[in-house]
Structure 1
């Protein structure tokens, strides 16, 4: 799952990482002839159904490999990012760890923390969709396998839209702003936002930049490290136009994503009409609040009049599993085990992840997730989350500066200047 909630109380949390597994000779007469190995696995699936499913996969792997002991560390998104920073600086990595690919994985690769698994997984690469693999491959080599892919869009409460007299989801940004006004006039909070966690806010600026400048603008910025071009400034201005309408719930600047009074719960309990979130939103909503059932709908981020981007261009990401540079061979076997069609299809059927393997589409049961899957299948372009596509320091500055724009302490020009300054220093 791309974004997680709270630490799982029952997870095995480790003070450090072993960086290459722990091995000892097998006891004589034991069931396995191989040396005993402990595989340390860091992942982000803190909510159901994936929390239990991933724990089950680990137990199944242990049962099939009696010499292996799995040791799980389960972390919330921001805590994991902090741990990754320490990991990169330490020069050590766990045997298996969650990755979003893109610039973050590339930095870990450059630091010598990630194993090249190209040869080991070559026989199964053809089973994956092209879009799901792209974020984990560099220069023709593979450094992780995907477990999820998806896109960000607006999840909305059909009942609250109808109450406000909105008969169809907005297709343009101008219509979206008008609908925000209608929702406020009906006494409904238009949008739930986890302002404290910052990453949810960056979705607005990133999508607006895509719709205004088109995908090439974001791709070029990754090359020339220049975010000061007019389309990026305009994206900030359009986001400010939304912020000026005061669309978010009371106290949003201090709200988390999955906390009892956070973004997902606010949406799930019918206290806001929309949230801009990834494909995991229905699962998190269900675990955080009452759930909306048949009142929950989905629509893609609107186009911007005069913009170069198309509504069929998707913004999102997914998750994968990377192998530490010094991990034993069993770690690679576990990655392949996790992504076998029979195992992965169960995760898709649960609604916790979307297909990454060809032919898994029929396993998607939830009607809203089918809409997301179909949107991805027909997408004419795809942009990875900016806090993953770019190097970590640049991604963090995007999150921080956009949060300050939403909070009213930075102007659109100051946002692009700050991101550019960090990008050019990398």
Structure 2
């Protein structure tokens, strides 16, 4: 862990002695799309705009940044600036500084993920979570000429693929990447629960509903039945996220439910690999896209200079070059007024953006189950429990009703 933190003391609040600069610790995370070079360049550009801020870069050694920040906070080492953590719990405990309405005027969804009416995470990036990416060559091999538009069509597509000995749906979930098994469930909840009741999870948080609710169980059972019919690759549950993506690119399955960051990799690799994209179909064929807007920086309420930290966070988040870099590297859909993606973005990114924009205009964009950060979201830690429960659902160890009761039980434990 010390090595992962590049030799720095996590969350240090000391000020630099040179030039009166204030030292602010900035927690980052590295992925194949967002490597050290990306973070170093983005930090440099933001710092050039905010004199007086000296940034100490920290690197999270684990995927679950929220859990890691909790660990640091327990020892008085909470970083001053943090990307894409879940503000739940931290905000209510007064550990995060809220952004002012004036600071949020450039954002398209300035109230996204509000907690008690306040914003603790800059809502700069929208991610469709998930869409369904599909291998056009494998569809053609199975005699499928177009993506499905209803859920009945989707089941027919799965049956045709399986009849040709083609695995219909690729999922992941191995090792630290348990979250990679969640996407069929997130999609089914969007079409079967959130489409009809956008505030369903808020009602669950207020104890007006339970996970044993009929609509929720119906959505969960769709995933269980896909697995039971052999449409989901159960072996994929042992794959890491990177290996799961590679399995799809290598033709190990025809459909890949994944977040809208996938095009950044897909457009850059394996020329000639033709990929299409569609929204997970609803029963009635209506267009529904689950999405999350947020993912931006949060600022500790105990930063040595909170105003300077917020100013630096805004500079980092609004810088056009930084935004272009994350669009190119991570397929971001930027939720900032007037922003246009850089020219030359690949066809899969363009198609992904088109599906999302069509949902905004002609369909419905819902929240994405387990991705919510505002009022009425899952309690901290429950998204990880849900991912473990999905593994049992896909392997047949839990029925839909057992999965629902498991979540209710874990919710009760988390409240205690």
- TM (normalized to structure 2)? 0.84
Q: 1:243 — aligned with what?
A: 227
**What is the aligned partner in structure 1 of residue 351 from structure 2?**
371
> Does the 8 A contact of 2:234 with 2:394 survive in 1?
no
Q: Contact conserved, 2:131 with 2:258, CA < 8 A, in 1? A: yes
Q: Which of 281, 306, 327 pairs up with 1:302?
A: 281
- What's the offset of the Cα at 1:319? 1.2
Q: Is the 8 A contact 1:153 1:276 kept in 2?
A: yes
Aligned to 2:238: 254
d(CA) in 2 for partners of 1:204 and 1:53?
30
Segments of 4+ moved more than 6 angstroms: none
Matches for 1:9-408 after TM superposition, within 5 Å: 12-13=5-6, 17-18=10-11, 21-26=13-18, 32=19, 35-48=20-33, 51-63=36-48, 67-75=52-60, 78-87=63-72, 89-90=74-75, 92-100=77-85, 104-118=86-100, 122-130=101-109, 133-151=110-128, 152-196=130-174, 197-215=177-195, 216=197, 217-224=200-207, 226-249=210-233, 251-258=235-242, 262-285=243-266, 290-291=269-270, 295-305=274-284, 310-327=286-303, 328=305, 329-347=307-325, 350=328, 352=330, 353-363=332-342, 365-377=345-357, 378-379=359-360, 380-388=364-372, 389-408=377-396
Structure 1 Cα separation of the partners of residues 38 and 273 of structure 2: 25
Q: 1:292 to 1:139 in 2, by over 3 A?
A: farther
By how many angstroms is 1:15 displaced? Answer: 7.1
> Do the aligned partners of residues 63 and 396 (structure 1) sit closer, same or farther apart at CA in structure 2, a change above 3 Å counting?
same
- Residues 41 and 362 of structure 1: is their aligned pair in 2 closer, same or farther, counting only changes over 3 Å? closer
How far apart are residue 207 of structure 1 and its match? Answer: 2.1
- Is residue 2:412 matched to residue 1:424? yes
Distance (whole Å) between structure 1 residues aligned to residue 349 and residue 8 of structure 2? 37
Structure 1 residue 69, shift from structure 2 partner: 3.4
Whole-Å separation in 1 of the counterparts to 2:369 and 2:214: 21
In the aligned structure 2, how far is the partner of 1:245 from the partner of 1:87? Answer: 44
8 Å Cα contact 1:348/1:363 also seen in 2: no
Query: Structure 1 61/205 Cα, relative in aligned 2: closer, same or farther at 3 Å?
Result: closer
Q: Which runs of 5+ in 2 are unaligned?
A: none
Supply the distance in 2 between the matched residues of 1:340 and 1:316 (Cα, whole angstroms). Answer: 19
- Bigger CA drift: 88-97 or 222-231? 88-97
Q: Secondary structure at the match of 1:150?
A: strand
Q: How many residues get paired?
A: 395
Q: Matches of 2:77 and 2:125 in 1, distance apart?
A: 25
Deviations 1:294-330 (A, max 9, x none): 601110011125xxx9423424455111011111243
Distance 1:339 1:62, change over 3 A: closer
* Distance of aligned partners of 1:359 and 1:293 in 2 relative to their CA distance in 1, 3 Å threshold: farther
> RMSD of the alignment, in Å?
3.0
Match in the other structure for 1:3: none
> Does the C-alpha gap of structure 1 residues 10 and 159 become closer, same or farther in structure 2, counting only changes over 3 Å?
farther
More helix by share: 1
Distance in 2 (CA, whole Å) between partners of 1:134 and 1:200 is: 28
Task: Name the CA distance, whole Å, in 1 between partners of 2:17 and 2:8.
Answer: 25
Equivalent residues of 1:129, 1:357 under 8 A apart: yes
**Separation in 2, partners of 1:203, 1:212:** 14
The DSSP-based 3-state class of the residue aligned with 1:112 is coil
| 8 Å Cα contact 2:266-2:348 kept in structure 1 | no
Q: Is the 8 A contact 1:188 1:273 kept in 2?
A: yes
Change (3 A) 1:256 1:406: same
Contact 2:194–2:367 at 8 Å: present in 1 too? no
Q: 1 CA distance for matches of 2:184 and 2:8?
A: 36
